A and B are shown apart, each in its own frame.
Chain A
Amino acid sequence: MKKIRIREKYCMGCRLCEIYCAVQHSKSKDLVKAYRGEYPKPVPRILVEEKDYLSFAIQCRHCEDAPCIGACITGAMSRDPKSGAVLCDENKCVGCWMCIMMCPFGVIGRGKEKKVISKCDLCVGEKEPACVKNCPNEALVLEEE
């Protein structure tokens, strides 16, 4: 499957990936509309970690043996057979936070009004994920594994 490779040496900590991720997952998918008019405010599903001059973006690794899937009490978390991505059905998620506890990367967060979880969906359906597409320095690249 295609996965996002994180290349911390190239990350500048500009956080554009966070912005574009939030916009991609907003209702309008428009930066101005999303940030000015949408409630709940769009939240990124990618996180830039930063310390001094070191930074990198991290999002769901779509693990081969994903502990979040087995931890999900409703079966909302599952692997998309087509893309191989680990996806959460927000209509099934009840916000028990088991997956947050299980994720070794800490990349599942509380999403919409803190009622359901929020995680990277690899922008399934798009040509490439918004974070990859908008990273100005190829610190995030999409690669076949």
Chain B
Amino acid sequence: MNQLRRNFLKLSGAAGTVVLALCAGLIKTGEALAATWNKAGFESKAVADALKSLGAANPAESKDIVITAPDIAENGAVVPIAVTSKIPNTQSISIIAEKNPFPLTSTFDVANGGEGYVSIRIKIGQTSNVRAIVKADGRFYTAAKEVKVTIGGCG
């Protein structure tokens, strides 16, 4: 199996949605490879269902996942979240806002030197645990941090 196809398989995650037939022969150097969008996961209303869609039904709590986020977010529409995974061979990071109507916000697959680190901004509807799910060496780990959301005032 050539290296490019191996990388694509690495990037596809455990969701089992690798569409090998589609991509066989189409993979070229430098072409953007996009993982199939996890519709079931993004449309899950329960955290448990979102975890299942990632193949991460029972992730182990890990102190090697650091979530950098404000204790109190001034504006729930723009909450900065950074996740650093110190777990070796990190393959992917998913970010869940537990109290959101659709908890799964994003999944980041890393490869080819991409570090287990990602920084984004998400919408949080109400004070909630923000949970990171890390996949490393085929196993799943998790950590969470509570982010309070305030109501502002003038302007």
Q: Do A and B come from one complex?
A: no
